[in-house]
């Protein structure tokens, strides 16, 4: 009965959306019948007047003139209701057909209320919270006149040299897919025409995270097997969640730049995945196909539109060459019509044809940077922190302790927001020192010294200072700074050393070959350890750093990423135990750069690592294992896993079983734990990863409390893309692992009949 009702409802919903689609199609068909070729091509042009922070090296010219003559479909870098209105007015008063502009921006981790960098957010493993972060970002961005967010970035990334690992959700396709879905649903809500929601844009399609050598914009080459099983899932999850737009990536895939790859954009995305929305290029990525040596601007623009790419970001290759290509029959009118329709559909869904000023409401400025949004930023930041070490319960700090707060990032505002905080104002962020002072009410027990520069390397500093002063090299000598720090350390009970990367040492075009702490800070830490005082290292970074050799002397290590506008308060919350840390790594921390890529789902190889066997897969000079594995993270309490049970040890095709485990909070404080389910396939027709994350639950347990956690395992969960790229589950043996991270698990055997 229930099922019947459900299917009747589904048919009704499908009927309504069919009718809505028909209405939209008719509207657009009528509109397009009035458009000239130039106006259609104009809709494909997305440009930036460069009024905001530059996000690429080219800035568009004569933007105003182009808008008036119908040569622009959308703008980005124009933020704020008044500025957006000015631009929309140009179209509405001067252009022939008055087709409203759409306004995009890199709303990546919050808008003006900046949340932690996405890599940090992903370590919360809390999809409800992550979704809410996108809801709030959309609310603030739309109050600022925007209706299109270039987010989420879902590139699987296993090479921390690549600076853009900061923008994604780490190394794992399952976790990445859950987060991709949460972000899309958060941004878009259930009504794109609402003034509080905007178009999401999943990026960078595809495989950008696998750039060779971790060098940005570099080439990518991988087997389809690896693509399908390890890299594509998060993009697909975003498409399945209804993402309205997709951004093509800079890299090539199988020798074809993504922006010109018909296989990627049309065969896979539109045909196989049934993506119905608009595809936009990345910043001048069509033009850059010429650098990839695919031909001149006319040739590559023709290739891109024929491949299925609808909107050209900044490069204006479409604007300047498509007409000629049409005349020379290098593109068809149908290509241009398709692309134009996709852009117009996006605008239609936003409700811009009903009201071009829908997102322009200066009265909504009160919805930006509200106390509630800041409170949310503080909460999500504290959930993103990962406690990597805590010896002798050094943390949480006790209020009576005399704390020496030391480090170049300890009293800093410039580096709290992290990369891609396009609309965030660093000056509004809370430094760690302020957070700790507020936490301890008075600062009687707190003394501060900078101790070292973020780096003494002036060239590196210069590169990190492109968007403003992030690395401020002190006028004092390094020795004088160190002496001051050691003096306060010696007269303290505990040292809190706040060290790490400046914001712009990660992010776009910020690859690093040495991903250690800069030498100045290493020196500081070693000197602090020598004082014999317990040292708590609070580590800011946009990537997993190589910490080998840097943290051995530390009593505690708290990884806090770049934590956003409320960084200092959130860090103090965790240091003083107001919040018990619960973050788990979404990306492995390498032992050394030489191991990269290092990730938990590596294959076992034909000669699995064996210390007793010379001829096995290993290094002579370092372990195979990362320093901290995926899924890892400590708490101020201790969780015990016991009594793992499967409801059956055999599974029939199409059937399901449950795995249950008891998790007990054995400590004396309440805490949250992320219980992780991994599946290991013991026999497969293609080589499987050692194990794969297939489920997780974050639960809150009071001190002493136990909970039985249940995972449903069905055949779908055991499937993979086989050698013929068919999605199959193969009979045979599996191990069902449950544990607190990818390394420390217990398992039960399961057979698939
Ligand atoms: C280039 C980046 O790759 C992309 O992520 C971003 O959205 C665009 N620039 C626009 O700023």
Ligand 1 centre distance from Cα of residue 317 (Å) = 17
Cβ count near 57 (within 10 Å): 9
Ligand 1 binding pocket includes 259 (Cβ within 6 Å)? no
CATH of 371-587, picked from 3.40.605.10, 3.40.50.1700, 3.40.50.720, 3.40.47.10, is: 3.40.50.1700
Phi and psi (nearest 5°) for 44? -85, 0
User: Which position has the token pair 């396939």?
Assistant: 681
Which residues, listed in sequence order, are joined to residue 449 by a DSSP beta bridge?
A: 406
Q: Which residues of 181-190 are buried (b: 16+ CB within 10 A; e: fewer)?
A: bbbbbbbbbe
Which residue in 412, 413, 421, 428 sits closest to 369, CA to CA?
Answer: 428
Asked whether the beta carbons of 369 and 460 are under 8 A apart, the reply is no
Residue nearest to atom 11 of ligand 1 (CA): 55
Q: State the Cα–Cα distance between residues 738 and 675, nearest whole angstrom.
A: 7
Residue nearest to atom 4 of ligand 1 (CA): 282
Ligand 1 binding pocket includes 566 (Cβ within 6 Å)? no
Active-site choice (126, 159, 216, 282): 282
Least confident of 3-17, 226-240, 315-329: 3-17
At 61 the pLDDT is 86
Which residue in 470, 338, 451, 286 sits closest to 41, CA to CA?
Answer: 338
Asked whether the beta carbons of 208 and 249 are under 8 A apart, the reply is yes
pLDDT above 90 for 379: yes
Summarised one tens digit per residue, pLDDT across range 536-555 is 999 999 999 999 999 999 99
The atom of ligand 1 lying closest to the CA of 153 is 5
| Number of helices (H), then strands (E), in the chain | 20, 26
Summarised one tens digit per residue, pLDDT across range 599-648 is 999 999 999 999 999 999 999 999 999 999 999 999 999 999 999 999 99
Q: What is the mean pLDDT of residues 50-78?
A: 84
At 399 the pLDDT is 87
Q: State the Cα–Cα distance between residues 694 and 734, nearest whole angstrom.
A: 13
Ligand 1 centre distance from Cα of residue 164 (Å) = 11
Ligand 1 binding pocket includes 150 (Cβ within 6 Å)? yes
Domain boundaries, the chain: 103-362, 371-587, 639-752
At 19 the pLDDT is 87
Q: Which residues of 469-503 are buried (b: 16+ CB within 10 A; e: fewer)?
A: ebbebeeeebeebbebbbebbeebebbbbbbbbbb
Summarised one tens digit per residue, pLDDT across range 689-723 is 999 999 999 999 999 999 999 999 999 999 999 99
The atom of ligand 1 lying closest to the CA of 104 is 10
Phi and psi (nearest 5°) for 735? -115, 130
Q: State the Cα–Cα distance between residues 563 and 350, nearest whole angstrom.
A: 31
Ligand 1, from 51, 52, 56, 507: best to mutate by most atoms within 8 Å of Cβ? 56
Instruction: Give the angle subtended at the CA of 662 by the CAs of 658 and 666, to the nearest 5°.
Output: 160
Is the sign of the CA dihedral 745, 676, 211, 456 positive or negative? negative
Ligand 1 centre distance from Cα of residue 97 (Å) = 29
Q: Which residues of 519-548 are buried (b: 16+ CB within 10 A; e: fewer)?
A: ebbebbbebbbebebbbbbbbbbbbbbbbe
Ligand 1 binding pocket includes 56 (Cβ within 6 Å)? yes
Residue nearest to atom 7 of ligand 1 (CA): 150
Residue 47 carries which DSSP code? E
At 443 the pLDDT is 59
What is the CB-side half-sphere exposure of residue 599 using CA atoms within 13 A?
21
Residue 101 carries which DSSP code? P
Ligand 1 centre distance from Cα of residue 168 (Å) = 13
At 52 the pLDDT is 60
At 12 the pLDDT is 67
Ligand 1 centre distance from Cα of residue 372 (Å) = 29
Summarised one tens digit per residue, pLDDT across range 299-350 is 999 999 999 999 999 999 999 999 999 999 999 999 999 999 999 999 999 9
Instruction: Give the angle subtended at the CA of 295 by the CAs of 290 and 298, to the nearest 5°.
Output: 90
Ligand 1 binding pocket includes 216 (Cβ within 6 Å)? no
Angle, helices 371-384 vs 127-143, to 10°: value is 140
Asked whether the beta carbons of 137 and 111 are under 8 A apart, the reply is yes
Ligand 1, from 48, 50, 76, 150: best to mutate by most atoms within 8 Å of Cβ? 150
The confidence band for 478, taking pLDDT boundaries of 50, 70 and 90, is very high
Summarised one tens digit per residue, pLDDT across range 641-695 is 999 999 999 999 999 999 999 999 999 999 999 999 999 999 999 999 999 999 9
At 338 the pLDDT is 98
pTM score of the predicted model: 0.97
Ligand 1 binding pocket includes 283 (Cβ within 6 Å)? yes
Can you spell out the DSSP letters for 727-752?
EE--SEEEEEEEESSSSSEEEEEEEE
At 444 the pLDDT is 63
At 54 the pLDDT is 57
The atom of ligand 1 lying closest to the CA of 151 is 7
Ligand 1 binding pocket includes 106 (Cβ within 6 Å)? yes
Ligand 1 binding pocket includes 282 (Cβ within 6 Å)? yes
At 20 the pLDDT is 87
Summarised one tens digit per residue, pLDDT across range 407-463 is 999 999 999 999 999 999 999 999 999 999 998 776 568 999 999 999 999 999 999
Asked whether the beta carbons of 284 and 56 are under 8 A apart, the reply is yes
Q: Side by side, which strands form the sheet with 706-714?
A: 639-646, 656-665, 706-714
297 Cβ neighbours under 8 A, 6+ residues apart = 287, 290, 317, 320, 321
Phi and psi (nearest 5°) for 82? -65, -45
Q: Is the bond preceding 672 in cis, omega lying within 30 degrees of 0?
A: no
pLDDT above 90 for 202: yes
Cβ count near 570 (within 10 Å): 29
The confidence band for 13, taking pLDDT boundaries of 50, 70 and 90, is low
Q: Which two tokens stand for residue 352?
A: 């811009």
Ligand 1 binding pocket includes 508 (Cβ within 6 Å)? yes
What is the CB-side half-sphere exposure of residue 576 using CA atoms within 13 A?
20
Phi and psi (nearest 5°) for 56? -170, 175
At 11 the pLDDT is 67
pLDDT above 80 for 51: no
Q: State the Cα–Cα distance between residues 416 and 432, nearest whole angstrom.
A: 9
518 Cβ neighbours under 8 A, 6+ residues apart = 454, 455, 456, 457, 460
Ligand 1, from 281, 283, 506: best to mutate by most atoms within 8 Å of Cβ? 283
The confidence band for 1, taking pLDDT boundaries of 50, 70 and 90, is low
Q: State the Cα–Cα distance between residues 728 and 730, nearest whole angstrom.
A: 6
At 49 the pLDDT is 86
Asked whether the beta carbons of 118 and 166 are under 8 A apart, the reply is yes
Rg for the chain, CA atoms, rounded: 26
Ligand 1 centre distance from Cα of residue 619 (Å) = 38
Q: What's the fold here for domain 103-362?
A: TIM Barrel (3.20.20)
pLDDT above 70 for 53: no
Asked if domains 103-362 and 371-587 share a fold, the reply is no
493 annotated active-site: no
At 371 the pLDDT is 98
230 Cβ neighbours under 8 A, 6+ residues apart = 156, 173, 601, 689
Q: Which two tokens stand for residue 53?
A: 């922070």
The confidence band for 2, taking pLDDT boundaries of 50, 70 and 90, is low
At 17 the pLDDT is 78
Phi and psi (nearest 5°) for 723? -60, -25
Ligand 1, from 78, 508, 511: best to mutate by most atoms within 8 Å of Cβ? 508
Which residue in 77, 89, 85 sits closest to 361, CA to CA?
Answer: 85
Ligand 1 centre distance from Cα of residue 283 (Å) = 6
Summarised one tens digit per residue, pLDDT across range 282-298 is 999 999 999 999 999 99
Q: Which residues of 443-459 are buried (b: 16+ CB within 10 A; e: fewer)?
A: eebbbbbbbbbbbbbee
Asked whether the beta carbons of 247 and 204 are under 8 A apart, the reply is yes
Ligand 1 centre distance from Cα of residue 397 (Å) = 41
Q: Which two tokens stand for residue 366?
A: 């009160």
Ligand 1, from 282, 314, 419, 511: best to mutate by most atoms within 8 Å of Cβ? 282
Asked whether the beta carbons of 663 and 701 are under 8 A apart, the reply is yes
Q: What's the fold here for domain 639-752?
A: Immunoglobulin-like (2.60.40)
What is the CB-side half-sphere exposure of residue 525 using CA atoms within 13 A?
27
Cβ count near 61 (within 10 Å): 11
Q: Is the bond preceding 703 in cis, omega lying within 30 degrees of 0?
A: no
Q: Which residues of 8-34 are buried (b: 16+ CB within 10 A; e: fewer)?
A: eeeeeeeeeeeeeeeebeeebeebeee
Q: How far is CA 638 from the centre of its chain?
A: 29
Q: State the Cα–Cα distance between residues 55 and 48, nearest whole angstrom.
A: 10
What is the CB-side half-sphere exposure of residue 66 using CA atoms within 13 A?
23
Instruction: For the chain, report the end-to-end CA distance as a whole number of angstroms.
Output: 32
Q: Side by side, which strands form the sheet with 535-540?
A: 386-390, 556-559, 535-540, 494-500, 403-406, 446-449
Residue nearest to atom 8 of ligand 1 (CA): 283
Q: State the Cα–Cα distance between residues 392 and 490, nearest whole angstrom.
A: 20
Residue 134: left (phi > 0), alpha (psi -120 to 50), or beta? alpha
Ligand 1 centre distance from Cα of residue 282 (Å) = 6
Residue 589 carries which DSSP code? B
DSSP H or E segment with residue 712: strand 706-714
Question: pLDDT above 70 covers what percent of the chain?
Answer: 97
At 382 the pLDDT is 98
Ligand 1 centre distance from Cα of residue 489 (Å) = 43
């Amino acid at each position: 009965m229930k099922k019947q009702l459900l299917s009747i409802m589904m048919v009704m919903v499908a009927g309504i959306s069919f009718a809505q689609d028909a209405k939209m199609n008719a509207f657009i068909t009528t509109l397009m019948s009035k458009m000239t070729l130039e106006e259609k091509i104009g809709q494909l042009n997305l440009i930036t007047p460069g009024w905001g922070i530059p996000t690429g090296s080219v800035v568009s010219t004569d933007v105003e003139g182009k808008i008036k003559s119908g040569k622009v479909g959308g703008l980005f870098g124009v933020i704020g209701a008044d500025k957006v209105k000015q631009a929309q007015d140009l179209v509405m008063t001067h252009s022939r057909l008055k087709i409203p502009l759409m306004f995009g921006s890199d709303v990546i981790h919050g808008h003006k209320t900046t949340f932690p960098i996405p890599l940090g957010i992903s370590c919360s493993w809390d999809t409800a919270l992550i979704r809410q972060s996108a809801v709030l970002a959309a609310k603030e961005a739309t109050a600022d006149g925007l209706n299109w967010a270039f987010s989420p970035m879902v590139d699987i990334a296993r090479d921390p040299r690549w600076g853009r690992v900061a923008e994604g959700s780490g190394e794992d396709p399952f976790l990445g897919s859950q987060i991709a879905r949460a972000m899309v649903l958060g941004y878009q809500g259930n009504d794109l025409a609402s003034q509080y929601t905007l178009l999401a844009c999943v990026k960078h399609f595809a495989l950008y995270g696998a750039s060779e050598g971790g060098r940005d914009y570099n080439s990518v080459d991988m087997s389809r097997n690896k693509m399908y099983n390890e890299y594509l899932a998060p993009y697909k999850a975003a498409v399945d969640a209804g993402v309205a737009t997709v951004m093509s990536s800079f890299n090539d895939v199988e020798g074809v730049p993504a922006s010109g790859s018909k296989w990627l954009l049309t065969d896979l995305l539109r045909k196989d995945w049934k993506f119905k929305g608009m595809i936009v290029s990345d910043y001048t990525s069509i033009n850059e196909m010429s650098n990839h040596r695919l031909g001149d601007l006319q040739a590559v623009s023709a290739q891109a539109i024929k491949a299925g790419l609808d909107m050209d970001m900044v490069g204006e290759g479409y604007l300047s060459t498509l007409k000629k290509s049409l005349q020379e029959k290098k593109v068809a009118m149908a290509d241009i019509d398709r692309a134009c329709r996709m852009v117009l559909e996006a605008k239609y869904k936003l409700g811009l044809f009903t009201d071009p000023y829908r997102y322009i409401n200066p009265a909504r400025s009160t919805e930006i940077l509200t106390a509630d949004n800041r409170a949310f930023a503080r909460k999500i930041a504290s959930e993103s922190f990962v406690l990597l070490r805590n010896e002798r319960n050094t943390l949480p700090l006790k209020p009576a302790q005399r704390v020496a707060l030391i480090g170049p990032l300890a009293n800093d505002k410039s580096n709290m927001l992290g990369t891609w905080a396009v609309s965030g104002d660093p000056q509004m962020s809370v430094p760690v020192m302020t957070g700790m002072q507020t936490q301890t009410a008075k600062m009687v027990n707190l003394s501060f010294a900078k101790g070292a520069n973020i780096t003494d390397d002036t060239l590196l500093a210069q590169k990190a200072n492109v968007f403003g002063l992030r690395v401020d090299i002190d006028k004092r000598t390094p020795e004088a700074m160190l002496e001051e720090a050691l003096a306060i350390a010696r007269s303290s009970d505990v040292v809190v050393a706040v060290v790490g990367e400046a914001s712009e040492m990660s992010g776009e075009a910020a690859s690093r070959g040495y991903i250690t702490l800069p030498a100045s800070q290493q020196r500081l830490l070693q000197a602090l350890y020598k004082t014999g005082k317990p040292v708590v290292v609070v580590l800011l970074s946009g990537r997993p750093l190589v910490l080998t050799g840097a943290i051995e002397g530390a009593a505690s290590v708290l990884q806090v990423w770049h934590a956003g506008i409320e960084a200092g308060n959130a860090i103090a919350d965790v240091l003083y135990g107001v919040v018990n840390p619960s973050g788990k790594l979404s990306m492995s921390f390498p032992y050394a750069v030489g191991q990269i890529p290092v990730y938990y789902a590596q294959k076992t190889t034909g000669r699995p690592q064996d210390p007793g066997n010379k001829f096995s897969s290993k290094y002579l000079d370092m372990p195979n294992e990362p320093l901290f594995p995926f899924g890892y993270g400590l708490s101020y309490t201790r969780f015990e896993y016991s009594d793992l049970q499967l409801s059956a040890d055999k599974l029939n095709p199409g059937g399901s079983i449950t795995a249950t485990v008891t998790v007990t909070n054995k400590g004396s404080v309440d805490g949250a734990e992320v219980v992780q389910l991994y599946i290991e396939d013991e026999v497969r027709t293609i080589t499987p990863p050692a194990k794969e994350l297939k489920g997780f639950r974050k639960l809150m347990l009071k001190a002493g409390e136990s909970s039985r956690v249940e995972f449903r395992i069905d055949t779908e969960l055991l499937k993979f893309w086989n050698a013929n790229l068919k999605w199959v589950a193969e009979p045979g043996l599996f191990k069902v692992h449950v544990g607190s991270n990818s390394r420390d698990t217990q398992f039960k055997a399961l057979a698939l009949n």
